[in-house]
C-alpha cells in the first residue's frame, strides 16, 4: 500500500468518529475521499451497528475493549457518585484496551487521539489521549507531548473556544486533523509499533457545530482523507481497519423531555438551588450572580415575569445556556451580563431535577434511560427496595406508551437494563433504558418548556456506523452483515495473530481468520481519578452534550 515506506505497521486502525455510509458514500462518489475509497474498494466494507448508547465516550471504549458498557463501566460523558458527577476519564474504563492486551503479548502500539484514554496506560509504545482529556494531557511515555510539539509544531486536543465564525472553524478543523496525522506518523517512525490506532474526532464535531452544511462536512472529510493517504504511504500497513463508533444524520422528529413527563406524574421534583444535574443550566455556573433568593412562580402561567417566560421560550427551541455563554464569551460580554441578569431570570434558567427528592429521573440524556432513586443505593433514596420492580414496571409502561404530537411512538424499545447490559458494572446504568425510534427523536434531560419541542440539534447520532477491512490476508468477498461495534477489537487482535479475550462480547468478523479465544490475566483497573476540569465540561456543553 505504499511506494516508499518509512516504517511498517502490521495493523492500522483508523477511527472516524460518526463515520457512516450515508455521509461517506456521496463523498466517495464525488471523488472527495480517494484514500478512504481505496481501502473500501480493496477490502470488505459494510455497516457497523453501534451499541446502546451510541455516543463517543461509551462507544469508543466498547470498540477498543470489545465489551459492553456493563463490563467496561462507561455509559456517557459523565460518571456519577451518588448524585455528584464528573467527566469520565480512562480510570473509569474497567476493561483492558486493545493496546494493553497486545502489550501483554509483547506487541507494541502507537495510539493517537483515542477518546477516554487520559491518563494513558503504560505500554510498549506511545499514547496521546483524545476527547475528554485536558488540553495539555499527560501522555505516555512521560514528556511525549513536548516531543510531539517539537517534532510537528503545535498539538492540541481541542480548537480554541473563542473561534466564532465558519471560516476560522474550518481552518481549525483542518489544523486539528493534520495534527493527528502528523503526530501519528512521527510516533510510528520513532516507536516502530506492531499496531497503530489514530482517531479523527472532527468528523463528528462538524455536525454539531455546522449541521446540514455539506461544504464544511466535505472540507473536514477531505482533510481526514489527506492524512489517511499520508499515513498509508508512510506506515505501509499489512492490514487496514476503518471503523466508526456510531453514525450521524438529520433528526426529523421531536425533542422529548422525559423529566418533564416524570414531573407531571409526580416522579420528578425540581430545585433552583444549584444541586443536581443541570437541565437548563445557568449562563455561567461560577460567574452568574443571581442576587437574593426567592420563590419561583410554579408552572408556566402568564403571571410570571416576561423575562422568565422568554427564557423558557428560548429553552423550548433548544437554545442552551452554555451556547449563550460561549457567544457572550467570544465578544467579552459574559461577565457584563452575569452581573446584570435579574434574579428571577437566573432562577428560571437554573431549574434542575432535584435528585434526592425525586423517585426516578433522567440524569444525563445520552445515557438513554431513567434512574430510580433507590434507597440503600442512592445517598437519599426515596424508593424502597420492595417497590423497585413496581417502579420499573411503571416506568416501562409509561414510557412505552408515549407518542409524539404526530401520533408516532417516541421509543422503539423501553426495557430493563439487564436486557441490554451484562457485567459487573450494570449497577451504574440507568434502571430503565429508552431507545428512541430510529434515533429520530431527540432526548433532553431538562425540565420546563413542555414535554415536546423541536430538536435542540437538527443533526445527531444514529445507530449505524461503518467498518472496512483491507489487506493481504483479508477476504474482500466475505460479508459483513451483522457487524457490531463489539466485533472490532477481536478482529483487530486476529489480524495480529492474537486470540480474543474470553470476556469480549464480539466475534472476529468474517473477512479475517480467527485466532481463537484466551483467558487474559485479570485487569488491574486501579483507583478512579477525578477529571474535575471546567474547560473540558465547557467544551462538552458547547457541543450540546451537557445541556
Read off the pLDDT of residues 373-404 as tens digits, 9 standing for 90 and up: 999 999 999 999 999 999 999 999 999 999 99
Least confident of 2-11, 151-160, 212-221, 426-435: 2-11
All cell numbers assigned to 303: 403571571
- The pLDDT score that the predictor gives to residue 459 is 94
- How many angstroms separate the CA atoms of 94 and 134, rounded? 20
Q: What percent of the chain has pLDDT over 70?
A: 84
Residue 350: pLDDT band by 50, 70, 90 thresholds?
A: low
Residue 535 banded pLDDT, cuts 50, 70, 90? confident
pLDDT in tens, 240-263: 999 999 999 999 999 999 999 999
Supply the DSSP string of 186-253, one letter for each residue: HHHHHH--SEEEEEE-HHHHHHHHSTT-HHHHHHHHHHHHHHHHHHHHHH--SEEEEE-S-EEEE--S
Which residues lie across from 411 on neighbouring strands?
436
Is the Cβ–Cβ distance between 140 and 168 less than 8 Å? no
- 161-206: pLDDT as tens digits: 877 788 999 999 999 999 999 999 999 999 999 999 999 999 999 9
Residue 282 pLDDT greater than 50, yes or no: no
On whether the CB atoms of residues 368 and 376 are closer than 8 A, the answer is no
Q: Do 482 and 52 meet the contact criterion of CB atoms below 8 Å apart?
A: no
Cα dihedral 514, 520, 525, 531 in deg (nearest 10) = -10
Q: pTM score, two decimals?
A: 0.87
CA angle 463/111/177 to nearest 5° reads 70
Average pLDDT value for residue range 321-340: 48
When pLDDT is averaged across residues 262-287 and rounded to a whole number, the result is 66
Environment class of 29 (CB within 10 Å of its CB; exposed 0-12, middle 13-18, buried 19+): exposed
* CA-closest candidate to residue 57, choices 400, 365, 305, 380: 365
Predicted confidence (pLDDT) at residue 312 exceeds the cutoff of 70: no
Domains present along the chain, CATH in parentheses: 11-250+481-542 (3.40.720.10), 255-453 (no CATH)
Amino acid at each position: 500500500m505504499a511506494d516508499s515506506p518509512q516504517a511498517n505497521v502490521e495493523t492500522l486502525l483508523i477511527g472516524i468518529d460518526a463515520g457512516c455510509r450515508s455521509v461517506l458514500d456521496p463523498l466517495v462518489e464525488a471523488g472527495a475521499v480517494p484514500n478512504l475509497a481505496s481501502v473500501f474498494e480493496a477490502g470488505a466494507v459494510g455497516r457497523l451497528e453501534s451499541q446502546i448508547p451510541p455516543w463517543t465516550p461509551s462507544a469508543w471504549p466498547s470498540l477498543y475493549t470489545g465489551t459492553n458498557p456493563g463490563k467496561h463501566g462507561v455509559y456517557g460523558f459523565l460518571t456519577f457518585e451518588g448524585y455528584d458527577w464528573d467527566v469520565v476519564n480512562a480510570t473509569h474504563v474497567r476493561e483492558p484496551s486493545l493496546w494493553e492486551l497486545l502489550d501483554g503479548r509483547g506487541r507494541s502500539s502507537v495510539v493517537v487521539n483515542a477518546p477516554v484514554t487520559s491518563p494513558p496506560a503504560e505500554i510498549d509504545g506511545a499514547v496521546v489521549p483524545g476527547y475528554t482529556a485536558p488540553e495539555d494531557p499527560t501522555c505516555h511515555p512521560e514528556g511525549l507531548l513536548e516531543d510531539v510539539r517539537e517534532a510537528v509544531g503545535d498539538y492540541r486536543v481541542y480548537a480554541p473556544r473563542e473561534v466564532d465564525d465558519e471560516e476560522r472553524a474550518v481552518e481549525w478543523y483542518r489544523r486539528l486533523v493534520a495534527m493527528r496525522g502528523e503526530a501519528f506518523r512521527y510516533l510510528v517512525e520513532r516507536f516502530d509499533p506492531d499496531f497503530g490506532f489514530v482517531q479523527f474526532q472532527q468528523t463528528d464535531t462538524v455536525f454539531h457545530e455546522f449541521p446540514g452544511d455539506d461544504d464544511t462536512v466535505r472540507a473536514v472529510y477531505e482533510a481526514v482523507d489527506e492524512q489517511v493517504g499520508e499515513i498509508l504511504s508512510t506506515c505501509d500497513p499489512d492490514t487496514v481497519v476503518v471503523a466508526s463508533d456510531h453514525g450521524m444524520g438529520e433528526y426529523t422528529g421531536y425533542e422529548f423531555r422525559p423529566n418533564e413527563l416524570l414531573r407531571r406524574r409526580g416522579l420528578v421534583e425540581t430545585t433552583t438551588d444549584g444541586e443536581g444535574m443541570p437541565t437548563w443550566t445557568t449562563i455561567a455556573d461560577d460567574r452568574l450572580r443571581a442576587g437574593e433568593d426567592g420563590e419561583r412562580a410554579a408552572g408556566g402561567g402568564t403571571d410570571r415575569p416576561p423575562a422568565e417566560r422568554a427564557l423558557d421560550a428560548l429553552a423550548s427551541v433548544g437554545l442552551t445556556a452554555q451556547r449563550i455563554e460561549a457567544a457572550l464569551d467570544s465578544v467579552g460580554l459574559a461577565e457584563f451580563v452575569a452581573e446584570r441578569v435579574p434574579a428571577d431570570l437566573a432562577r428560571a434558567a437554573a431549574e434542575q431535577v432535584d435528585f434526592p427528592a425525586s423517585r426516578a429521573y433522567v440524569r444525563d440524556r445520552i445515557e438513554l434511560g431513567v434512574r430510580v432513586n433507590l434507597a440503600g443505593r442512592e445517598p437519599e433514596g426515596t424508593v424502597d427496595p420492595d417497590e423497585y420492580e413496581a417502579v420499573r414496571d411503571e416506568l416501562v409502561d409509561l414510557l412505552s406508551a408515549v407518542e409524539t404530537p404526530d401520533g408516532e411512538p417516541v421509543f422503539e424499545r423501553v426495557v430493563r437494563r439487564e436486557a441490554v447490559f451484562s457485567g459487573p458494572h450494570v449497577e451504574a446504568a440507568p434502571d430503565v433504558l429508552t431507545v428512541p425510534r430510529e434515533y429520530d427523536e431527540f432526548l433532553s434531560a431538562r425540565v420546563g418548556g413542555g414535554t415536546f419541542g423541536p430538536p435542540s440539534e437538527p443533526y445527531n447520532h444514529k445507530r449505524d456506523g461503518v467498518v472496512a477491512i483491507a489487506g493481504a490476508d483479508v477476504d474482500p468477498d466475505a460479508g459483513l452483515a451483522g457487524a457490531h461495534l463489539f466485533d472490532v477489537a477481536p478482529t483487530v487482535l486476529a489480524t495480529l495473530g492474537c486470540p480474543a479475550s474470553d470476556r469480549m462480547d464480539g466475534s472476529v468478523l468474517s473477512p479475517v481468520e480467527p485466532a481463537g479465544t484466551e483467558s487474559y490475566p485479570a485487569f488491574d483497573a486501579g483507583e478512579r481519578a477525578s477529571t474535575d476540569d471546567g474547560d473540558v465540561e465547557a467544551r462538552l456543553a458547547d457541543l450540546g452534550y451537557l445541556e
